[in-house]
A = this chain, B = another copy of it.
Amino acid sequence: MTESYGKKRLTRTVLSEQIKEQLMEDIFHKKYKAGDRIVESALARELGVSQASVREALRSLIAMGFLENEPFKGTAVRSFTAKDLMEVVTVRVALETLAGQLSIRRITDEEIAELERITSEMIAASKEGDTQRRIRLNIAFHEKFVETSGNKLLVQLYNYMHFGNWSLLTGSLSEMDPIQIATRHRILIDALRARDPDKVAKAVREHIESTTKPLSDMLAQANL
């Protein structure tokens, strides 16, 4: 998870974990689209592994919200509605606002510098047209931000939710103005540096809502 952004990998032996990451990539790259059914036995044959390993990977992705399933019926890539998206925004604002309030009391200058570094990299990636990388860095930024809260449960919950809606968010991000996103990040960083609770809350809300608005409009048109 946070791995995508610099971290050593000592134990990369667990097969089901590899399958899981492979599947995440495949969903991310739209090899599997919303609603597509994933058949354990077929995938096992395709990857040359046992059904059990595939199954374990699937269960994990189900828990994360990437996939959904019903007993004896099977597993499919989850599809999202406009309402689902609104729910994500609502909850994200609540969780990241909380993170911001907690951060203020304990964030270090090093952590702030780290957030700035990620933002700079993001802008660089944007200019190079490396969308994939830009998206990953955006995720890294928000994860890092939540981590500075020092609340592990919050981080856990955030990741749990975040990844379940990854595919959803990434799709829209690619259509957004990267400079604007980066600017929002800077505003948030400044608010953190000033340790100003109200500014942080405002920055979080505006950042998330602005990021999600275009997608929201799009979905509202498509579904409802």
Contacts and interface: CB of A to CB of B under 8 A. Distances in A.
A11 interface: yes
7 contacts: A11-B71, A17-B71, A55-B56, A59-B60, A63-B63, A87-B152, A90-B102
A91 B154 contact: yes
A164 to B, nearest CB: 8
Contact of A98 (B71, B72, B94, B161): B94
A8 to B, nearest CB: 15
B151 A161 contact: no
A92 B14 CA distance: 33
A152 B11 CA distance: 36
Contact of A87 (B55, B84, B154): B154
A102 B88 CA distance: 14
Interface string A51-67: 01001100110010100
A13 B161 contact: no
Interface string A129-168: 0000000000000000000000111101100110000000
The DSSP consensus for interface residues of chain A is: helix
Nearest to A158: B157
B63 A153 contact: no
Interface string A83-124: 010011011001100100010000000000000000000000
A163 to B, nearest CB: 12
Interface centre among A13, A71, A87, A98 (most CB of B within 10 A): A87
Contacts of A160: 157, 160
Nearest to A161: B157
A43 to B, nearest CB: 17
Contacts of A151: 87, 90-91
Given A91-B98, A91-B153, A14 B71 contact: yes
